[in-house]
Structure 1
Amino acid sequence: MAACETCGNDYDMSFEVHAQGAVHTFDSFECAIQRMAPICEHCSCRIIGHGVQDGGHWYCCAHCAREKGAMALVDRA
């Protein structure tokens, strides 16, 4: 058993995520998302899909990117 690093639950079916040289332990995908998913720089939601990037800035969608001035990003080509 291992404790989830997000909620602290000590769960017999916890799992590890290996990312960027670190190992993280979670009891659910929900906790993994809350800890690891980037945050949209406009609306602050967790980016659990592909998201969009402008330079070093991450957004959940092209609308949020445009709201921050990244006018070249679109949802559809």
Structure 2
Amino acid sequence: MTTCTSCGNDYEKTFTVVTPEGEQGPFDSFECAIHAVAPRCKRCGVTILGHGVEVDAQTFCCSHCARQTADVPITDRVVIG
């Protein structure tokens, strides 16, 4: 059995997550993996589970946080017509 990096649970069905930076670790659930490796919003600290918004190598959870921090004219949606 393998021990989960996040919670320490000794579990026979762990899986390994490898980040783009090469960090890796075994986890017993997606919840534990997300807690350990998901990015956090630069402004509010929310865990980003979706795409997020990137501005100048900073990651934000939404356009509001990006605008508040990076002062950029960005929006979450486009209105056509």
TM-score by length of 2: 0.85
Paired residue secondary structure (2:50): coil
Paired residue secondary structure (1:44): coil
Give aligned-pair identity as a percent: 45
Unpaired runs of 5+ residues, structure 2, are: none
Partner of 1:67: 68
Matches within 5 A, 1:47-62: 47-62=48-63
Partner of 1:3: 3
Contact 1:66 1:73 in 2 (8 A): yes
What do you get for the CA RMSD once the two structures are aligned? 1.2
Contact 2:16 2:25 in 1 (8 A): yes
Does 2:42 align with 1:41?
yes
Aligned length: 77
Does 2:14 align with 1:14?
yes
Please state how far the C-alpha of 1:70 moved relative to its aligned partner: 3.3
C-alpha distance after superposition, 1:10-64 (max 9, x if no partner)? 1111111123333321011011001001110111011110000001111001011
